[in-house]
């Protein structure tokens, strides 16, 4: 062949290969993980994220931080995905997973510098991850946590989340109550729990509503604000004069004809309220518009009616009360009606909310979350959802383990012990994995203001003495103590997922030695 070079990529593509590609990817991944380190644990700090258009989010939640951060680097993006997967699969532990992934990358970088082949690192990490999973399995405290343990799991996930120390206990109880309401022998129906936020009151005013809340307005202020033992109709129709009848071409040549036309219209409109009143309905949700004349008839009938109800709310009302949607009032029958113990309209500042409690068709519950400002309720909503997820995971997905870094110390010890029997350079990778897991207790120590090296030494000593120990943060300080005694528990599923997703992402990044970007 001649000396002609062959070009297979367009001139615009950028290509980075070998060590350069690896080190740039690893640095990007480490940077992402670094950015959430200070938020880990109950003494973790919050971040304020300001978007292009000036929206402000204040949060301590790893997944939210990374999601808001507008990260572009492709390898860094893979760490964002770790947090996303963690959030989707178990709903908590996102900071833990990102920090671990970053540290696995950092240790891999050292191994690469010592000429350990990427494939060896990948194999070693996978093997270590399996040992870690076995260590978690062996150290599950309760596969079927009791009420007190569930409460502790909820509290551990909520402390330090802007919910306030005092409120955290009550909120945790509300979370456990909500989960127990929708829990059957088949498991927890997590989708049956909604969090509805409303600013304007202290967080301690948060309560559990045994039903659903929808944000809809009454058709008229003259209608009642509530109904007990209510029969509920859902109508998907505009209660107006039908277009065909008010044809623009309507030829009116004398007053009689005009009166006749108006009368026909009025009669047609009167039919709507009459048809509804003939059924047992007390409360009506209408997705369409309602003519003023129909509205006044409905007031006279003493009905509580909501118009222009949006699709999601129609779904929620139908699911809770068992009401079927009816396309035309003419066909509405008692069989179509749903029912609820009570429907009530309550006023909050400028908003009116409809509480539908004791619906006949479902056990759906709503946590009605209060907070003094928009930022507070947003963070409370995130933390309630995390807590609902962890309590669900603790009940449905394999129980709980000791938190506050205790399970991580156990994992690291186990991996280090078993590394000894692994041959060749792979042993170095397995040991590196164990060292990487130590970053979690170390970071907890840093964030609590403890000396991280002393803390790790004390933790290991306690474990060697046969007690499970973690870095329990109480008030302003941290102490080395038994997390189970102090009620700091995490779901095993959160730890399992963190190990898996961090291992996946870091090994995927280590394997890449060629980045081709087409611009």
Q: Rg (Cα) of the chain, in Å, rounded?
A: 30
Binding mask 77-106 for Mg ion (x = CB under 5 A): ---------------x--------------
From the list 94-102, 284-292, 345-353, 354-362, the region that binds ligand ADP by CB under 6 A is 94-102
Say if CB 31 and CB 511 are below 8 A apart: no
Catalytic hit among 39, 59, 85, 94:
94
Catalytic hit among 85, 95, 159, 392:
95
187-188 and 183-184 beta bridge pairing: antiparallel
**Using rule CB under 6 A, residue 403 touches ligand ADP:** yes
With tokens 């049956």, the residue in question is 192
Least gap, CB of 415 to ligand ADP (angstroms): 18
Backbone φ, ψ for residue 33 (5° rounding): -65, -40
**CA neighbor of 489 nearest in space, from 169, 156, 236:** 156
Total residues binding ligand ADP (CB under 6 A): 22
**Using rule CB under 6 A, residue 472 touches ligand ADP:** yes
**Using rule CB under 6 A, residue 42 touches ligand ADP:** yes
Helix (H, G, I), strand (E, B) or coil at 85: helix
- Rounded to whole angstroms, the Cα distance separating 195 from 191 reads 11
Is residue 217 part of the annotated active site? The answer reads no
Least gap, CB of 383 to Mg ion (angstroms): 8
Binding mask 407-446 for ligand ADP (x = CB under 6 A): -------------------------------------x--
CB-wise, 89 or 92, nearer to Mg ion? 92
**Using rule CB under 6 A, residue 159 touches ligand ADP:** yes
With tokens 């008030």, the residue in question is 475
Say if CB 445 and CB 456 are below 8 A apart: yes
H or E element at residue 192: none
**Using rule CB under 6 A, residue 404 touches ligand ADP:** yes
**Using rule CB under 6 A, residue 95 touches ligand ADP:** yes
**CA neighbor of 239 nearest in space, from 285, 190, 180:** 285
**Using rule CB under 6 A, residue 62 touches ligand ADP:** yes
Binds 490: which of Mg ion, ligand ADP, none (CB < 5-8 Å by kind): ligand ADP
H or E element at residue 479: strand 477-481
Is residue 61 part of the annotated active site? The answer reads yes
Least gap, CB of 126 to ligand ADP (angstroms): 22
Catalytic hit among 92, 386, 490, 500:
386
Is residue 386 part of the annotated active site? The answer reads yes
**Using rule CB under 6 A, residue 149 touches ligand ADP:** no
- Rounded to whole angstroms, the Cα distance separating 495 from 106 reads 20
In sequence order, the 6+-apart residues with CB closer than 8 A to the CB of 363 are: 181, 182, 189, 192
Binding mask 138-157 for Mg ion (x = CB under 5 A): -------------------x
Is residue 19 part of the annotated active site? The answer reads no
**Using rule CB under 5 A, residue 379 touches Mg ion:** no
- Rounded to whole angstroms, the Cα distance separating 336 from 277 reads 14
- Rounded to whole angstroms, the Cα distance separating 369 from 380 reads 7
Looking at the DSSP bridge assignments, the partners of residue 345 are 354
Binds 62: which of ligand ADP, Mg ion, none (CB < 5-8 Å by kind): ligand ADP
**Using rule CB under 5 A, residue 490 touches Mg ion:** no
Q: Both tokens of residue 198?
A: 């409303």
**CA neighbor of 239 nearest in space, from 263, 268, 218, 264:** 268
Question: Can you give the binding site for ligand ADP, defined by CB under 6 A?
Answer: 39-42, 44, 62, 92-96, 156-157, 159, 403-404, 444, 471-473, 488, 490
Question: Can you give the binding site for Mg ion, defined by CB under 5 A?
Answer: 92, 157
**Which residue numbers are catalytic?**
61, 94-95, 386
């Amino acid at each position: 062949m001649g000396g002609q070079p062959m070009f297979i990529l367009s001139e615009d593509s950028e290509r980075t290969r070998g060590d350069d590609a690896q080190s740039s990817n690893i640095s990007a991944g480490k940077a992402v993980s670094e950015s959430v380190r200070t938020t880990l644990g109950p003494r973790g700090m919050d971040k304020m994220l300001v978007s292009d258009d000036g929206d402000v989010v204040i949060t301590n939640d790893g997944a939210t931080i990374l999601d808001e951060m507008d990260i572009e680097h492709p390898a860094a993006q893979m760490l964002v995905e770790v947090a996303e997967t963690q959030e989707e699969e178990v709903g908590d532990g996102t900071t833990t997973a990102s920090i671990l992934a970053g540290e696995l990358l950092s240790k891999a970088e050292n191994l690469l510098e010592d000429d350990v082949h990427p494939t060896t690192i990948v194999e070693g990490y996978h093997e270590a991850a399996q040992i870690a999973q076995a260590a978690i399995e062996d150290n599950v405290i309760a596969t079927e946590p009791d009420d007190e343990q569930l409460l502790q799991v909820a509290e551990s996930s909520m402390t330090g989340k802007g919910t306030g120390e005092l409120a955290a206990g009550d909120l945790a109880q509300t979370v456990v109550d909500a989960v127990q309401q929708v829990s059957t022998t088949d498991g927890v129906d997590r989708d049956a729990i909604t969090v509805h936020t409303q600013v304007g009151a202290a967080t301690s005013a948060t309560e559990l509503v045994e039903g659903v809340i929808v944000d809809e307005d009454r058709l008229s202020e003259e209608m009642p604000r509530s109904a007990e033992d209510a029969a509920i109709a859902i109508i998907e129709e505009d209660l107006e004069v039908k277009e065909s009848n008010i044809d623009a071409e309507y030829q009116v040549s004398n007053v009689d004809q005009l009166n006749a036309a108006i009368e026909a219209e009025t009669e047609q409109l009167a039919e709507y309220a009459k048809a509804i009143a003939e059924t047992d309905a007390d409360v009506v949700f209408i997705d369409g518009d309602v003519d003023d004349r129909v509205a006044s008839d409905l007031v006279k009938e003493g009905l509580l009616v909501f118009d222009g109800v949006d699709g999601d709310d129609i779904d929620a009302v139908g699911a809770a009360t068992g009401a079927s949607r009816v396309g035309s009032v003419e066909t509405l029958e008692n069989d179509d009606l749903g029912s609820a113990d009570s429907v009530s309209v309550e006023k909050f500042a400028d908003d009116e909310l409809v509480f539908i409690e004791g619906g006949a068709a479902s056990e759906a519950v709503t946590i009605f979350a209060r907070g003094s400002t928009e930022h507070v309720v947003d963070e409370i909503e995130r933390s309630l959802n995390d807590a609902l997820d962890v309590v669900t995971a603790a009940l449905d997905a394999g129980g709980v383990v000791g938190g506050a870094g205790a399970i991580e110390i156990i994992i690291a010890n186990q991996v280090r012990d078993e590394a000894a029997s692994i041959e060749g350079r792979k042993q170095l990778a397995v040991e590196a994995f164990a060292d990487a897991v130590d970053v979690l207790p170390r970071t907890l120590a840093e964030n609590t203001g403890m000396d991280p090296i002393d803390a790790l030494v004390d933790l290991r000593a306690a474990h060697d003495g046969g007690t499970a120990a973690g870095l329990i943060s109480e008030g302003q300080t941290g102490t080395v103590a038994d997390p189970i005694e102090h009620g700091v528990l995490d779901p095993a599923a959160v730890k399992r997922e963190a190990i898996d997703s961090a291992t996946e992402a870091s090994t995927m990044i280590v394997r890449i030695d060629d980045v081709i970007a087409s611009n």
